[in-house]
Amino acid sequence: MHRSATIEDVARAAGVSRQTVSNVLNTPAIVRDETRERVQDAIRRLGYAPHASARRLRTRRSSTLGIHLDPYAGGISGVVLDRFVHALTERAGERGLRVMLYAARSPEEEIRRMADLRDGGDIDAVVITGTFHGDPRSQWLTDHSVPFVAFGRPWGEDDVGDPAHLWVDVDGAAGTAQATRHAVATAGRRVAFLGWPEGSGTGDDRERGWRETIGADGPALRLTSPESVAAAREVVEGALETHEIDAIVCASDSLAVGAHLAAVTSGRPRLPVVGFDNTPAAEALGFSSIEQLPERVASGALDLLLGGARDIVSREIVPREAHVLVEPRLVVR
């Protein structure tokens, strides 16, 4: 019979003490990054599972995070959230925590699901995604003292100097700035931006990176499309007929697919197009894209939620320490 790995096995494989392994599992913030990564690698290789059940009996807590599972709607960009949920589940398991998925079709229904799970003792904390200005979910969680962290900043608030809650996000402006600099250096100054209609916090942030990089005196052609390949294709086909464009930076891979197809139809198959999300579609069609690094987002969310402790409890929201902003990277093709 195969014997399950023990904490002593992990310690030997990582070349550290048993206490260091325990610290990585329960208070990772006090362990040096290099040592923590070595121990976590040993945990993954050996398939070590901490005895979370014993801790749950001792603390009378579920040691479980709840996270909303978005309904399947097809499309291209949903793969990013899928990767985030997978990474969150894996990283949580390394810390002796479980993840419970729940479904909801609206913010109001999600609040009811969170209330049921909390009242039933099924979850200790929540990770919310897809935040927006005036998000009722974050207000409900705050009002009911449920520990939570958001993948997405509290748009419309001073989310750094006076944060409303814990949050982790991808620096969209930094991503599109990287993409724009690359496009200018390799294709020319006439770099257009294809984004969503104004008012989307995420979309406006990504546009800002492009606009600041082009500069006030640059040829700033801003194109708008809903999150639709067909609509993006139509918009870009029209723009290519009336404007001189050296490259296009897009707010998502879905928009980039439409832009790429428009370029091919217009007789410019080599027009540089840069997407955002680095989905399999970007790899298949061969255009560059911004990689969001959802695995780092998941680790950042857990670091904030646990705050270096072993159990999930409500924590003080400290300005400039209540967020993690992950800088994405450009994948050039």
Pick from 30-34, 241-245, 296-300: least confident: 30-34
Q: Is the dihedral of CA 213, 251, 102, 134 positive or negative?
A: positive
Q: What is the mean pLDDT of residues 85-113?
A: 91
Q: What is the 3-state secondary structure (H, E, C) of 172-233?
A: HHHHHHHHHHHHHHHCCCCEEEEECCCCCHHHHHHHHHHHHHHCCCCCCCEEECCCCHHHHH
pLDDT at residue 57 above 50? no
Q: What is the pLDDT of residues 234-253, one digit of tens each?
A: 999 999 999 999 999 999 99
Greater pLDDT, 20 or 312: 20
pLDDT grade for 74, boundaries at 50, 70 and 90: low
Cβ(256)–Cβ(264) below 8 Å: no
pLDDT grade for 58, boundaries at 50, 70 and 90: very low
Q: What is the pTM of this model?
A: 0.76
pLDDT at residue 186 above 80? yes
For the chain, list the domains and their CATH numbers.
1-49 (1.10.260.40), 60-169+294-327 (3.40.50.2300), 172-291 (3.40.50.2300)
Q: Please give the C-alpha separations between residue 231 and each of 30, 84, 228, 241, in angstroms, as whole numbers.
A: 50, 28, 5, 16
Token pair, residue 278, equals 């680095």
Q: What is the pLDDT of residues 260-286, one digit of tens each?
A: 999 999 999 999 999 999 999 999 999
pLDDT grade for 4, boundaries at 50, 70 and 90: confident
Q: Identify the pLDDT of residue 6.
A: 84
Token pair, residue 296, equals 């780092």
Within 10 A of 119 (CB to CB), how many other CB atoms are there? 9
Mean pLDDT for the chain overall: 88
